[in-house]
Structure 1
Amino acid sequence: MSGSPASYRDRIYIVKDIILKLVEYGELNQTALVSFCGLNMTKHRPILDELEANGLVERTERPSGKRTVTFYRPTQKGLEFFRNILEPYERMFPRRKDGQQPESGGSGLNLMATMMLILI
């Protein structure tokens, strides 16, 4: 149900979800990233472009037969932004008042992502 309060995600949480997925997987192709984050490529491309322009994610393109596949990975600056800004923001202003997290996007770091952030 498009536009309903249950399906709406603030921009900051979309950014957090993008960086979180990239931290979890290290690198994702554009299709997988958009799918895992529950985004629409046409609608949300400006967010990815802005993250790249601000140095929070890195985009690379690789040939694959006749096609070019776009991959994204978090930068060190993106990891620091995630750790120092996005995580404290969500602790201060959780997505839902009742303590439950929405199904799409998720909030907390899983064990592997937490370990990656600690190691970096």
Structure 2
Amino acid sequence: MVKQIRAFNQLKELALSQEILEDSRTKGVVTALYEALKSRDAEAIQKILAPDLEWWFHGPPSHQFLMRLLTGEQESDFRFVPHSISAFGPTVLAEGFDQSRSIAWVHAWTVTDGIITQVREYFNTSSP
């Protein structure tokens, strides 16, 4: 019985360490994306984002800064600087705030096989 308990505990520890490793990897992918956005490195951005990225936007249309930036539709001086990035398996949450515009935002990224396959973008709606 003692051997079984030890074996079970070892399996639990292994599963936990695998989960931590996965969280670290997915968080690293999203962190790399924000670095590429900051430096406007289009090649790196293309490698990080799936070509068929699924995009959900929640907020006023005037706040679609990320879409405009990634599609090249319009030059934007908006900077996405996350204040926190947290990973939960394949889901990574990034939160930020632009003080000059009084805009808070949250990105919920899904990372699959080392690339971002989905983003859900949330902006506050108290600003024009």
TM-score, structure 1 normalization: 0.31
Which structure has greater strand proportion? Answer: 2
TM-score, structure 2 normalization: 0.30
Structure ID, larger Rg = 2
Which structure has greater helix proportion? Answer: 1
